[in-house]
Structure 1
């Protein structure tokens, strides 16, 4: 079996608790726009692509404008929602990063967020992170579940896809990792796997610190 040589992190909902933040931000914006929809719709908006947003727009007119507004204001809302550095960190983030840097093992961040936003968020973690690469979906990659962003991240780090471990909390991310030919671990946050997603889940851990045990056996 090919050993793991590098780790690729998603960011939203995986490294930082931004999906809980998004749900509150989105609900407030919906209320302001007088658009009424259940929490289940908001949950499905997390990480959805443009085609899905169009479908929601047909049922809830104006919801795409709310989504656009939330995307534009999310950074300001982030610093309002998380008052102190480190408040947004997902469980086990510090422990896993310290493990990777001590080992040492290269790691990268591959996120749909803009690179400047990624940098703002990781600089607010309350400790230093030193990813070898930061790759943004805003560079023009097709959205996950297309594997392009993961393949580009591996190439920039100098590793083969099969040498990389992807950490994800979303259906699209787990599917993209599978299509890229990479190992992956699903860290649940707001998404409950459906039957289609279960086909692509290779490993599941409760939090990021539990990834250390996996790496001890496979890296």
Structure 2
């Protein structure tokens, strides 16, 4: 197992990896659907993990029918989501602060690379109180194709001025792991949902239960079972 200093840069995903945003999205989507007379199951919401919103909209129409009003749904889900995060904020995932501190100590460049649009990404980071943590943020707006295409990670490597095969990518979803694999990065899967997609396990270079375990691993310590 390589130590962290063996990598030239670390690339973080955002939703489900750095920020515990996915539960807030799921609740807002379910509330919006209910207000419109539909029901979104927990399993259906989980199936949307890691997808860009264009893909999410396609799955919503496929699941709810061609007459499903995406405009109304987007408006309502936005209202419900902001009610939640204004009241409770957004939490960072376990181990993020400690892992980032270690990366900074090791003087390793890092950035955020997310499938979210820039306006949404910055808003989430603001609600989480970490808007100034990442000096470099690559979003879906910055590339032609989002994950699972490799574009976001390839652009991140270019901006960091390091080869992609020297980058450590931290991801929580199959979509992100596929993008990292296609880009040629060393990828670590930190699943945000259960059950874990078997293809994600097959494609990733390493799997850990949370970012604290990632830290322990790359400090050369034995992770707890």
| Shorter-normalised TM range | 0.7 to 0.9
Two-structure CA RMSD over aligned residues (Å): 2.7
Structure 2 vs 1, CA of residues 104 and 173 (structure 1 numbering), >3 Å: closer, same or farther?
same
Equivalenced residues, count: 214
1:82 aligns with 2:88: yes
Equivalent in the alignment of 2:102: 99
TM-score by length of 2: 0.82
Q: Per-residue CA shift, 1:24-73, capped at 9, x if unaligned? A: 11110010010124221121123335356435413312174466336755
1:57 aligns with 2:75: no
Structure 2 vs 1, CA of residues 197 and 64 (structure 1 numbering), >3 Å: closer, same or farther?
farther
Equivalent in the alignment of 1:199: 202
Structure 2 vs 1, CA of residues 51 and 114 (structure 1 numbering), >3 Å: closer, same or farther?
closer
SS in 2 for 1:13: coil
1:19 aligns with 2:22: yes
* Range that drifts further, 176-185 or 35-44: 35-44
* Range that drifts further, 114-123 or 139-148: 114-123
SS in 2 for 1:113: coil
Alpha-carbon distance, 1:121 to partner = 3.1
Structure 2 vs 1, CA of residues 142 and 66 (structure 1 numbering), >3 Å: closer, same or farther?
farther
Q: Is the Cα–Cα contact under 8 Å of residues 19 and 91 in structure 2 kept in the other structure?
A: yes
Q: Per-residue CA shift, 1:120-167, capped at 9, x if unaligned? A: 333444467543421111224312110000000010011101110111
Structure 1 unaligned spans of 5+: none
TM-score by length of 1: 0.84
What is the distance in 2 between the residues matched to 1:23 and 1:129?
Answer: 26
Structure 2 vs 1, CA of residues 40 and 8 (structure 1 numbering), >3 Å: closer, same or farther?
same
Structure 2 unaligned spans of 5+: 221-225
SS in 2 for 1:199: helix
